Amino acid sequence: MESSSTIARKTWELENNILTVKPPADSSSDNIFHYDGAAHAKVLKEKPWATDPNYFKRVQISALALLKMVVHARSGGTIEIMGLMQGKTDGDTIIVMDAFALPVEGTETRVNAQADAYEYMVEYSQTNKLAGRLENVVGWYHSHPGYGCWLSGIDVSTQMLNQQYQEPFLAVVIDPTRTVSAGKVEIGAFRTYPEGHKISDDHVSEYQTIPLNKIEDFGVHCKQYYSLDITYFKSSLDSHLLDLLWNKYWVNTLSSSPLLGNGDYVAGQISDLAEKLDQAESQLVQSWFGGKKASLHKKKKDELPLAKITRDSAKITIEQVHGLMSQVIKDILFNSPRQSDKTPSDPTDPEPMITS
């Protein structure tokens, strides 16, 4: 029953060059849950991140924290939500053990919200320490429903402030709408550079689809922060529970239909794409009339807006086609006439070809 998922996991591990470290004993794989107050205080005094702005490179998020953040983000619908994360550091890795939501509305500006939520945070941290959760706040998370995982201008200034006074601090952004639409978790972890730090030009960040009305905000600030790699971990009991959970979960996997839930999001994406096409077309017309010489000097690195649009459209379409495939499979499974009555209907409708 597990063989297909182990095959998938092995494929993924191979592709991503995962080195599996065999834990010496069963309990030590849960070591990550142990909180060592003395070691943590020592690291806080040393502050190795003060000298190197690129110090933290990786993030490890616990299964519980991820689940809480995604559920909270989705419950907000189209309103941004925010919350805090608790955890610790380990060398150049920030470990997020838990997350909790903050009672703030998405419409307030971020700086104010932090001041308001401090009382909540202090009370929550105190009660948590009594109940046995000893970690400190190690970052904040918020959601960008529908428009991707990146830091906006306000986010960048908030995070820069945080990194000055509350180190070590991490910013995480989750997009719940894209998560549901794509079927995989859209999450990004970022740290900002201090004021005036020049990012090296050949550092290329992963491309993302950004809607037209946000693309300016993204472009202005995208060089002021860098993203960290995210991996996940879970305890042995968690893995055991999740394995057993699959026995009940497979029904939900089969019955999920990502197409139905996200109709207006997809429509929004398509209209955004149409606007971008208009813009690209007018740009092209201008460059034609503005003289042929202009195009000769185009830098090799800049991508034509048309190529970007192509990538965006391919991404949307692939998601839709995935959803369609699920629907067709379900149709074949549950709707085909019975074998004894008539010959089965031809199930091999030509599936659309997908090229990257």
Partner 1 sequence: MAPSSSSGLTFKLHPLVMLNISDHFTRVKTQLNPPSSSCAAGNTPAATFPQNFRVYGCVIGAQRGRTVEIFNSFELVFDPTTDSLDRAFLEKKQELYQKVFPGFYILGWYSTGSEANESDMHIHKALMDINESPVYVVLNPAINHAQKDLPVTIYESEFHVIDGIPQSIFVDASYTIETVEAERISVDHVAHLKPSDGGSAATQLAAHLTGIHSAIKMLNSRIRVLFQYLVAMQKGDIPCDNSLLRQAAGLLRSLPAAHSEKFNDNFLMEYNDKLLMSYLAMITNCTSNMNEVVDKVKTAYAKKSRTGGSRIPFM
Which residues inside 163-192 make contact with partner 1, applying CB under 8 A? 176, 179-180, 183-185, 187
| Site map 293..332 versus partner 1, x via CB under 8 A | --xx-------x-xx-xx--xx-xxx-xxxxxxxxxx-x-
Rounded least distance, CB 345 to partner 1, Å? 11
Considering beta carbons, is residue 114 or 163 the nearer one to partner 1? 114
Q: Per CB under 8 A, does 118 bind partner 1?
A: no
Residues 19-38 that bind partner 1 (CB under 8 A): 23-25, 27-28, 30-31, 33-36
Considering beta carbons, is residue 161 or 277 the nearer one to partner 1? 277
Considering beta carbons, is residue 198 or 260 the nearer one to partner 1? 260
| Site map 125..164 versus partner 1, x via CB under 8 A | --xx-xxxxx------------------------------
Residues 40-69 that bind partner 1 (CB under 8 A): 62-64, 66-68
Considering beta carbons, is residue 72 or 191 the nearer one to partner 1? 72
Return the residue of 54, 93, 136, 235 that touches partner 1, per CB under 8 A. Answer: 235
H, E, C per residue of the chain? CCHHHHHHHHHHHHHCCCCCCCCCCCHHHHHHHCCCHHHHHHHHHHCHHHCCCCCCCEEEEEHHHHHHHHHHHHHCCCCCCEEEEEEEEECCEEEEEEEEECCCCCCCCHHHHHHHHHHHHHHHHHHHHHHCCCCEEEEEEEECCCCCCCCCHHHHHHHHHHHHHCCCCEEEEECHHHHHHHCCCCEEEEEECCCCCCCCCCCCCCCCCCCHHHHHHHHHHHHHEEEEEEEEECCHHHHHHHHHHHHHHHHHHHHCCHHHHCHHHHHHHHHHHHHHHHHHHHHHHHHHHCCHHHHHCCCCCCCCHHHHHHHHHHHHHHHHHHHHHHHHHHHHHHHCCCCCCCCCCCCCCCCCCCCC
Rounded least distance, CB 87 to partner 1, Å? 12
Residues 65-104 that bind partner 1 (CB under 8 A): 66-68, 70-71, 73-74, 97-98, 100-103
